[in-house]
Amino acid sequence: MDFTLLTPELTLLVTAIAVILLDLFISRKGFLTVVSLLGLAIATVFTFGLRDDLSQAAFSKMLAVDNFAFFFKLLFIGIAAMVIIASTDYVSKFKNFRGEYHALILIATLGMMLMAATTELITVYVSLEVASISLYALSGFLKDGKSSESAVKYMILGAVSSAVLLYGMALVFGVTGKTQIGEIAASIQLSGYSNLLDNPALIMGIVLLVAGFGFKIAAIPFQMWVPDVYEGAPTPVVGFLSVGSKAAGFAIIVRLFFTAFEFPESLSLDWGAIYAVLAIAGMIIGNASAIAQSNIKRLLGYSSIAQAGYLLVGLATLGIAPANEVIGRSSILFFLISYALANLGAFVAIIAISNKIESDEIKDYAGIGKRAPVLALCLTVCLISLIGMLPTAGFMAKFYIFNGAVQNGLLWLVIIAVLNSVISAFYYLRVVKAMWFNEPASLEKVPSSGALRFSLLITTLGVLFMGIVPNLLLTFAEWAARILRF
C-alpha cells in the first residue's frame, strides 16, 4: 500500500473538502476559486513528482501509474483549471452554493483521473460513478426548469447505462473468473478460443461494455442525453463534461479493450468492427442533426456526437491494427487534446457572449464580430478547429487519426469521415457567418472579464500552437500511448 502513488488524487479530495468548509466561514467567495486552483496546481506538482515512479502497478494491480495515466491526469487537471477560471463570473448565479460547485468539479476531476488509471473492473465502476454522480449534480446546479430537466435526463440515462455496463462486467467476470484486466486477458488467451462465437457470453459481455461506455463518450445510439444536457445545464459545466467525460471514457475504453480484449486477433477484429459501425452512425447522425439546430449549445451537443464519431475511427484502428503499432492509440490521445482545447475555447466564448446577450440562439449572435472582435475571433478559431481546417489543431488531429486508419486498411471509413467533415463545415460556418456578416441588433460592446479572456486566450493559442507546431504534443501523445499490460 504505497499512498504516495495516489498523492494527486488525494490532493484533489482534500481540496474539495477544504473548499466546502471554507465556504462556510469566509465572505469573499472569490477566494474559493483561488483555493481550488491552488489544489489543482499542487496536484500537478505531485503528478510530475511521480514521473520517476512511472510504469508500475499499485494496490494489487488495481491502479496503474504509467505514462498513459500521467498524460490523462495532466489533461484533466488542465481542463478543470480552465473550467474553474472560466466560471469565476458565472458562479454568482449559484448564490450560496459556490463552495459545492467547486468541490463537485474537483471530485469529478478526481473520478476522471482514477478512470484513466484503473486496471480492474470494480475500480473502473467506482471511479466512473464518482465522476458521473458529481456531473449529474452539476448539471442540475441552476435549479431552474431546463437545468433540472437536463439533470434528470442525464441521471436516469446514466444510471441505466451503468447498469448495462455492470451486466457486461458481470458476464466478463463469469467467463474469465477475474476482474483485473491483465488477468482477464491471460484467462481469455488460456481458454484458446479461435473464434469469438465459441463463447456467446463473452461476446455479449463485450457488446454490453461497448454500450455502457458508449454513453460516456456520446456514441450513437447512446447519445439521447447529449443535446438536452448541453442545452439545459450551466454552460461551464457543459464545457467540463463535454471534454472531461469524453476523454475519461476514451481513456478507459483504450486501456480496457487494448489490455483485456486485444488477443486473440479475431476478438480485437470483432470489437474494431463494432466501433467502425458506431463511428459511421455517430458521424452521420451527429452532423445531420446539427445542421437543423438554432441553439448554439445544442449545436455543439450534436457536434460532440460527430466528434466522438471521428474518435471512434481511432478506436476501430486500434482494434484492427497489430498490437505493437502505436498510431491508433497516440492519434486518439492527440485528438483528445485538440478537442479539449477547441471545445473548451468555444464554450468559454459562449459564456462570455451569453453573459451579455442572455441568449444561446445563433440568430442572436448576429454582428458579434463588431461588438466583441476578440471574442468572435477566438470563437471562430475554435470552430474552425472543430471543422478540422488548417492551420488549427483540429486539422492535425484528424490528419493523424485518418492516417492511422488508412494505413490499416480502413480507407472506406476515412472517406466517409472526410465527407462528414465537409458537411460539418456548413453548420460551424453558419455561426461564423452570423457573427461576422449579419447586422447586429445593437452596437453595444460585449464586455468580458479578465478571467474569461485569460482562459479564452490560452485555449485559442493552444489550438493554433498545436496546429502549427504539432510535433511537441504529438511526441508526448506517442510517449503516453505506450500502455503497459498489468
Partner 1 sequence: MVGLQHYLILSAALFAIGMYGVFVKRNAIAILLCVELMLNAVNIALAGFSRYVTPAALTGQIFVIFIMIVAAAEAAIGLAIIIAIYRNRGSIDPDKINLLKW
Return residues touching partner 1 (CB under 8 A): 121-122, 125-126, 129, 133, 136-137, 140, 143-146, 148-153, 155-156, 159-160, 162-164, 166-167, 169-171, 173-174, 177-179, 227-228, 231-232, 289, 292-293, 298
Of 224 and 390, which has the nearer Cβ to partner 1? 224
- Encode 269-289: b = buried (16+ Cβ within 10 Å), e = exposed: ebbbebbbebbbbbbbbbbeb
How far is Cα 63 from Cα 124, in angstroms, rounded to an integer? 10
How far is Cα 460 from Cα 206, in angstroms, rounded to an integer? 39
Of 145 and 450, which has the nearer Cβ to partner 1? 145
* Shortest Å distance, C-beta 291 to partner 1: 11
* Shortest Å distance, C-beta 461 to partner 1: 34
* Shortest Å distance, C-beta 1 to partner 1: 17
* Shortest Å distance, C-beta 259 to partner 1: 18
Of 67 and 123, which has the nearer Cβ to partner 1? 123
How far is Cα 314 from Cα 321, in angstroms, rounded to an integer? 10
* Shortest Å distance, C-beta 149 to partner 1: 5
Count of CB atoms situated within 10 Å of the CB of 439: 8
Name the residue among 226, 233, 205 with its Cα closest to residue 360.
233
Residue 118 gets which letter from DSSP?
B
Of 62 and 81, which has the nearer Cβ to partner 1? 62
Of 50 and 218, which has the nearer Cβ to partner 1? 218
Rg (Cα) of the chain, in Å, rounded?
Answer: 21
Identify the bridge partners of residue 295 per DSSP, sorted by sequence position: 361
Residue 318 in contact with residue 330, Cβ under 8 Å?
no
Of 164 and 483, which has the nearer Cβ to partner 1? 164
Of 121 and 340, which has the nearer Cβ to partner 1? 121
* Shortest Å distance, C-beta 177 to partner 1: 5
How far is Cα 33 from Cα 23, in angstroms, rounded to an integer? 11
* Shortest Å distance, C-beta 251 to partner 1: 20
Of 184 and 219, which has the nearer Cβ to partner 1? 184
Cβ contacts of residue 56 below 8 Å, gap of 6+? 5, 64, 65, 66
- Using CB atoms within 10 A of its CB, is residue 436 exposed (0-12), middle (13-18) or buried (19+)? middle
Q: In terms of residues, how long is the chain?
A: 486
* Shortest Å distance, C-beta 187 to partner 1: 11
